[in-house]
Amino acid sequence: MRVNRWSKTASAALGFMFLMTASRCTYDNIEDRTGSGIFCDTSAVSFSQDIESIIQQSCEGCHNGISASGGLNLADHQNIQSAALNGLIMDRVRRPLSDPLSMPPNGPLSDCNQKKLRAWINQGALDN
């Protein structure tokens, strides 16, 4: 009797741990809660829906045309893709504001926009 009750408790505990692990997975992969309490959906990030506007709003003012800052033009997909795939973009975007190499120089991208950028780059930085 005692043994039986104990094993029920143990399997309930195991089941609980499994649920916690499974739900944590969902939490990490599909929707991340940002500090502001807004859901950040990184499950279907695309260039046209998400990334293009982030770059236009936060980067293109300086990284545009023949006099682009740092010689880096981020005005079209092809240029953005090559900077993304060789690691340049995430390297600069992830740096803290206290680092003089941090981009954009006047304040970091939101957590959610950084996650979207990373998700898009991990999927090949496609023109999608």
Q: What residues line the site for ligand HEC (CB under 6 A)?
A: 58-59, 61-63, 69-72, 83, 88-89, 92-93, 101, 103-105, 109
Smallest distance, ligand HEC to C-beta of residue 26, A: 29
Smallest distance, ligand HEC to C-beta of residue 90, A: 8
Nearer to ligand HEC, 23 or 56 (CB): 56
Nearer to ligand HEC, 28 or 99 (CB): 99
Nearer to ligand HEC, 15 or 61 (CB): 61
d(C-alpha 95, C-alpha 99), whole Å: 6
What sign has the CA pseudo-torsion 126, 41, 57, 86? negative
What sign has the CA pseudo-torsion 30, 84, 88, 52? negative
Q: Are 89 and 83 spatial neighbours (Cβ–Cβ below 8 Å)?
A: yes
